[in-house]
Amino acid sequence: MRVSIKDIAREAQVSHSTVSRALSDSPLVSAGTKARIQQLAREMGYSPDAQARSLVMGRTRTVGVVVTTITDPFIAEVVQSIENTAYDYGYSVILTSSGSQSKREIAAVEMLQSKRVDGVIVTSSRVGALYQGLLERLEVPIVLINSHRRQASPSTFSVNVDNRHGAYIATKYLIGLQHRRIGYVGGRTHHSDDQERQAGYCEALARANIDFDPQLMVPGNGRASGGERALPHLRVLADPPTAVLCYNDMTAVGLMRAAREMGIVVPDELSVVGFDDIPFASYVMPSLTTLAQPKAEMGRMAMRMVLSLIGDERAENIDKANVVVKGRLIVRESSGVLTHSGAHERAVARNT
Amino acid sequence: MRVSIKDIAREAQVSHSTVSRALSDSPLVSAGTKARIQQLAREMGYSPDAQARSLVMGRTRTVGVVVTTITDPFIAEVVQSIENTAYDYGYSVILTSSGSQSKREIAAVEMLQSKRVDGVIVTSSRVGALYQGLLERLEVPIVLINSHRRQASPSTFSVNVDNRHGAYIATKYLIGLQHRRIGYVGGRTHHSDDQERQAGYCEALARANIDFDPQLMVPGNGRASGGERALPHLRVLADPPTAVLCYNDMTAVGLMRAAREMGIVVPDELSVVGFDDIPFASYVMPSLTTLAQPKAEMGRMAMRMVLSLIGDERAENIDKANVVVKGRLIVRESSGVLTHSGAHERAVARNT
DNA sequence: TTGTAGGCGTTATCAC
DNA sequence: GTGATAACGCCTACAA
């Protein structure tokens, strides 16, 4: 049988309210009985029932985290940071994944509502009108990480990477390496982050007086297969690109795989730059130059923003706003100065 | 204000018990009032309070999942499968990560106990005596995935990959490719899964009448850095290995990176085999031959085993046991038949 | 300093 | 069929 404060009360010959006070370290209990009760509670293996407490307190100290899939390495890092931060503040995390299916999005929101979470964090989703409406009906703070949404709302805030800036920096870097024919392989079209990255890419070209060539911009899908399929479209051009910026690292990885199969040497013949800096970016070969998103920081900020919106004093100095954080370029091996040497010479040279 | 069954009762001019019955679709309510109440509940935006319900029902329909870190791609896949299965059965998941710190392990168990989870799944942890004792005090079913534990206990079951068999298969495969000098780069020493994989490796050698050479077995740490550091130790040997089995994929990836830096061509000069089949195994270059663990199946089994142990009728046909599942070898590019050709010829040949 | 009583939102057991 | 009433485990006025 599970032991409750009543059981302790009986054992200690006091009322259950005294036990409750003693266990919450209230000053309204004599030091003696307090110590005695706390000791007893330990001995009896008492564990407070969070549900009963929440029922009367009106707070669960629980947040819901909604992801598309936790197997996405970017999302996993963000979630890890959310969980760590939640732990620091005495909160726990209910994890739900939607697989981008609206049926599961709906189920997730309903379940989080029934569980009476104090706040919700949504990561990397396209938040449709229906979904957003659902979320807002929860009447708890909502923080969206890298998620596009229709419109602002009083209780919904966001933490986003500066997509435009990131793509701008990355493209500018490639231009600095003398590249003039720079491709862009996108994510899913109509996703706002893809569009923003496109915009940053175009802006960098424009500032360097490089004509934008729509042929150099091909769509992907945010996964490796997108990059893999994109490369042939670029190589078939009369004047193919010498460098490619990819929507994200997985796209870049797929593109590099295609390059290898086509016998194109990266970075000698083609520079490749990704976006995200997933852990694997440094382990692919060649290792991937990429625009790193501050994933841990974003998770931490989102969690603290939720706390702040809930009214937790410990996080009151946190911005309650739509925060935009800047990424930074991490230069690795997949990018290099434009050269005119062929692959063959290079490969031989490397092995002598 | 949040709407409760009392609010609906007032509005519908019935007692709150009738509302409760109507909403749970009890046959003890007339079809008319039932429909009326359900309609009203929808209009008023009613959401049942899971905590209040759990309080009286004695079940939360929630399971706790304890991981070391969700950023481990193997763990992420397992957790995703757990979450999917939980969703299928109407359960939700509380995620906690311990970072292998006993302080956080303790906190996690306490929190899960307070939250009154119906069961717990622990992934890829070394479950120390203290930790296991703590878990068992929860008095709920516990299922360990790939986690070593001291001893059996009535409510604690496990789902494990057959480490010995997996390493045996992988090593046998390399022997079949004519390799005779085969190295093994371990995980953290004293982890039982590492020891079991070692045993499988040794067994395969023994059956092929290949002498076991302790010099060919070097420790790692389960991460890329372990593989990276291990390779030099192997190459410095008088008779270095022509193939290496690694404790896991990350170790293999690190080892391949070291190989590249040392100018060793995989698989021409060195065959590399991993263990796990993390998603990236197929994207590293060369792609990694590895022993795949059935991650989705393991997550699903663990979750269903919990349900079965809880007494959920829908999962009653599930084994309540210490299940061992077999992995299967996935041959990719990082392994090949032993040859005596040098790197130079090969590399040139490839680029012509 | 301690005890009594009420209530949080449910479900369940009785009567009627 | 429906409605009181109690109970789940906890917190918190209010009373003593």
Q: A53 CA to D10 C1', in Å?
A: 5
To the nearest whole angstrom, how far is the Cα of B193 from the nearest Cα of chain A?
Answer: 23
d(CA A165, CA A167): 6
pLDDT score, position B346: 37
SS3 A344: helix
d(CA B278, CA A157): 34
To the nearest whole angstrom, how far is the Cα of A209 from the nearest Cα of chain B?
Answer: 36
Decide: B145 and B118 in contact? Cβ < 8 Å: no
**Strand order across the A182-185 sheet:** A217-218, A182-185, A243-246, A271-276, A289-292, A328-330
Binned at pLDDT 50, 70 and 90, residue B342 comes out as: very low
More confident residue, B348 or B55: B55
pLDDT score, position A154: 77
Q: What percent of chain B has a predicted confidence (pLDDT) above 90?
A: 83
Binary contact (A55, B54; C-beta < 8 A)? no
d(CA A288, CA A239): 24
Binary contact (A280, B280; C-beta < 8 A)? yes
Decide: B116 and B57 in contact? Cβ < 8 Å: no
Domains of chain B: 5-48 (1.10.260.40), 58-161+295-326 (3.40.50.2300), 163-288+332-350 (3.40.50.2300)
Segment B195-223 mean pLDDT? 96
Residue A65 has pLDDT above 70, yes or no: yes
Residue B352 has pLDDT above 90, yes or no: no
Question: Is the C-beta atom of B51 closer than 7 angstroms to strand D?
Answer: no
Q: Over the stretch B156-180, which tens digit does the pLDDT of each residue have?
A: 899 999 999 999 999 999 999 999 9
d(CA B185, CA B272): 10
Residues of A in contact with B224 (CB under 8 A): 283
Q: Which of B193, B199, B261, B276 is nearest to B231 (CA)?
A: B261
Residue A3 has pLDDT above 50, yes or no: yes
CA A36 to chain centre: 47
Q: What percent of chain A has a predicted confidence (pLDDT) above 70?
A: 95
Question: Is the C-beta atom of B4 closer than 7 angstroms to strand C?
Answer: yes
CA A197 to chain centre: 17
Segment A221-235 mean pLDDT? 95
Q: What is the DSSP string of B112-148?
A: HHHTT-SEEEEES-EE-HHHHHHHHHT-S-EEEES-E
How large is the greatest C-alpha to C-alpha distance in chain B, in angstroms?
90
Return the residue matching tokens 């371990």.
Answer: B186
d(CA B248, CA B187): 8
pLDDT score, position B251: 96
Chain A residue at shortest CA distance from B69: A80
Q: Which two tokens stand for residue B297?
A: 């199946």
pLDDT score, position B238: 96
Q: Over the stretch A304-346, which tens digit does the pLDDT of each residue have?
A: 999 999 999 898 788 778 899 999 999 999 999 998 654 333 3
pLDDT score, position B150: 66
Question: Is the C-beta atom of B61 closer than 7 angstroms to strand C?
Answer: no
Q: Which helix (H) or strand (E) holds A295?
A: helix A295-310
Q: Which helix (H) or strand (E) holds B75?
A: helix B73-88
In order of A146, A149, A156, A254, the CA distances from A125 in angstroms are: 7, 9, 14, 22
Binned at pLDDT 50, 70 and 90, residue A349 comes out as: very low
pLDDT score, position B219: 96
Decide: A222 and A248 in contact? Cβ < 8 Å: yes
Q: A44 CA to D15 C1', in Å?
A: 31
Question: Is the C-beta atom of B49 closer than 7 angstroms to strand C?
Answer: yes
Residues contacting residue A107 through CB under 8 Å, at least 6 positions apart: B87
Which nucleotide lies at the shortest CA–C1' distance from A116? Answer: C9
d(CA B286, CA B266): 7
To the nearest whole angstrom, how far is the Cα of B190 from the nearest Cα of chain A?
Answer: 27
pLDDT score, position B347: 36
d(CA B76, CA A278): 14
Binary contact (B97, A107; C-beta < 8 A)? no
Which nucleotide lies at the shortest CA–C1' distance from B56? Answer: D8
Eight-state DSSP code of residue B339 = -
d(CA B227, CA B225): 5
**Mean pLDDT in chain A?**
92
Q: In degrees, to the nearest 5, what angle opens at C-alpha B166 toward C-alphas B260 and B316? A: 135
CA atoms within 13 A on the CB side of A159: 28
Nearest residue for D9, CA–C1': A52
Q: Over the stretch A119-162, which tens digit does the pLDDT of each residue have?
A: 999 998 877 777 888 888 899 999 999 987 766 677 889 999 99
Decide: A164 and A195 in contact? Cβ < 8 Å: no
CA atoms within 13 A on the CB side of B188: 7
Q: Which two tokens stand for residue B310?
A: 């809880």
Binned at pLDDT 50, 70 and 90, residue B188 comes out as: confident
Protein-proximal nucleotides of chain D (any atom < 7 Å from a CB)? 1-5, 7-13
Radius of gyration of chain A (CA): 26
How large is the greatest C-alpha to C-alpha distance in chain A, in angstroms?
90
Beta pairing class for B271-276 and B289-292: parallel
pLDDT score, position B153: 76
**Among chain B residues 231-260, those with CB within 7 Å of any atom of strand D:** none
Chain A residue at shortest CA distance from B84: A97
Q: Over the stretch A154-210, which tens digit does the pLDDT of each residue have?
A: 788 999 999 999 999 999 999 999 999 999 999 987 788 999 999 999 999 999 999
pLDDT score, position A350: 37
